[in-house]
Amino acid sequence: MRTWSAPHIPDLQTAGPVPSVFDSRLHEIVKLPEDRESASLYVCGITPYDATHMGHAATYVTFDLLNRAWIDAGYDVSFVQNVTDVDDPLLERAEQTGVSWEALAEEQTDLFRSDMEALNVIPPNHYIGATESVDWIVPWVERMIEDGLAYRASGYTDDDGVEHPDGDVYFDVRAAADTEHEPARWYLGYVSNYSEREMGPLFAERGGDPERPGKKDPFDALLWRAHREGEPSWDGGSLGPGRPGWHIECTVIAERFLGMPYTVQGGGNDLRFPHHEMGAGHAYAMSKNRMAEHYVHTGMVGLDGEKMSKSKGNLVLVSRLRERGVDPSAIRLAILANHYRTDWSWTQELLDESEARIQAWRRVMTADPTDDDTRSSDAVITAVRQALAQDLDAPKALHALDEWVSQVEAGGPAGDRREVARVVEARLGVTL
């Protein structure tokens, strides 16, 4: 699938430090990658039924910071992202709004690309749609059935009297899990560290179907949904016509384009379970390998202190802010003013502060050079790079830049202003 155009990344003369990032599975900050010249990143993409809201934007900007940290440290980065361009929420929205699911997916994916472009997010090397990956998924699911790690469930009639056919395929979590809980092997809770008691409500909230009759275990995850009347379907070989589940989509795409284990799987905190948990389970079941070496998750973004959600109708959309004429660099700076692991809230005040900040930075960094003594600019450049290398601490990097800007505005030495601007563009992705 087409990606979006790449932002300009200034080439910095010296290599930056290797970053350390909080691994939410290990629950500690780790230096990554160690002892290698390359790094690989898989960031779960959107289901294109609604425009990019601030929570999505914050997640993609966070992993863009990691990507930029690796590039600055001299790593060769492979970056893959999917787009779940067929799934229940997309089909439901298409039906409600009376458009075809294909048209809705295309329109919203286009809007996403233009949001990412405006926010200076480096595009993935491979941007892959679920609909493009069906032929790769089918053999995996067939083999899982052969190996006794997946099974075909019988059809049933739901509470609304709708009949569901035989042939939905489920991942057998109990058959696939390592009961000894060895660190290198997958078990339920391997990624998320949640107890089964904590997993129960989350599984139901986040697209799971614990009550579905015919499953061996409530946590068994859907691998293949047999064709229903009125739903799109693909040739599933021995599985019969249908469409893939969400978790297997990411696992197969990641394996195909990055191999396993790759360096980091990333996404919002709400993907820890079941999405990343099940994806790791599928990977282990099929390859006896780990899916990713490290898991990195971002906090949730609210609006004015409230949870942002489609049902509340309080989504802050990047595209709508852009339509209002808000500078995308100010949006990006507002995101960066919050540490990626915290839950935070979008407010008008935050945007106002970011607009004032970018104006001050532009005044100072784009002004003509005034002195040759680069000690002042060298110090702020080092501070920015070090802050970002320590668990992507963008607020600390912004603070260092603010201090330097205030000193220069008060008549202090500036050093090489243009080099500071280049570092801001290369590392923070903010164009001045």
Q: Which residues bind Zn ion (CB under 5 A)?
A: 44, 250
What does DSSP assign to residue 37?
A: S
Nearer to Zn ion, 84 or 354 (CB): 84
Q: 70-80 burial, b for 16+ CB within 10 Å, e for fewer? A: bbbbebebbbb
- For residue 145, count CB atoms less than 10 angstroms from its CB and return exposed for 0-12, middle for 13-18, buried for 19 or more: middle
Of 361, 387, 431, the C-alpha closest to 69 is: 387
* Shortest distance in whole angstroms from residue 393 CB to Zn ion: 26
Nearer to Zn ion, 53 or 164 (CB): 53
* Shortest distance in whole angstroms from residue 63 CB to Zn ion: 12
Nearer to Zn ion, 170 or 246 (CB): 246
* Shortest distance in whole angstroms from residue 293 CB to Zn ion: 16
- For residue 193, count CB atoms less than 10 angstroms from its CB and return exposed for 0-12, middle for 13-18, buried for 19 or more: middle
* Shortest distance in whole angstroms from residue 254 CB to Zn ion: 8
- For residue 392, count CB atoms less than 10 angstroms from its CB and return exposed for 0-12, middle for 13-18, buried for 19 or more: buried
Amino acid identity for residue 246 in this structure = W
* Shortest distance in whole angstroms from residue 216 CB to Zn ion: 24
Amino acid identity for residue 399 in this structure = H
* Shortest distance in whole angstroms from residue 275 CB to Zn ion: 6
Nearer to Zn ion, 250 or 428 (CB): 250
Positive or negative CA dihedral for 219, 225, 231, 234? positive
End-to-end CA gap in the chain: 31
Nearer to Zn ion, 44 or 138 (CB): 44
Whole-number Å distance between alpha carbons of 42 and 64: 11
Nearer to Zn ion, 43 or 71 (CB): 43
Nearer to Zn ion, 250 or 331 (CB): 250
Q: Provide the 3-class DSSP secondary structure of residue 157.
A: strand
* Shortest distance in whole angstroms from residue 246 CB to Zn ion: 7
Task: Determine contact, residues 224/239, Cβ cutoff 8 Å.
Answer: yes
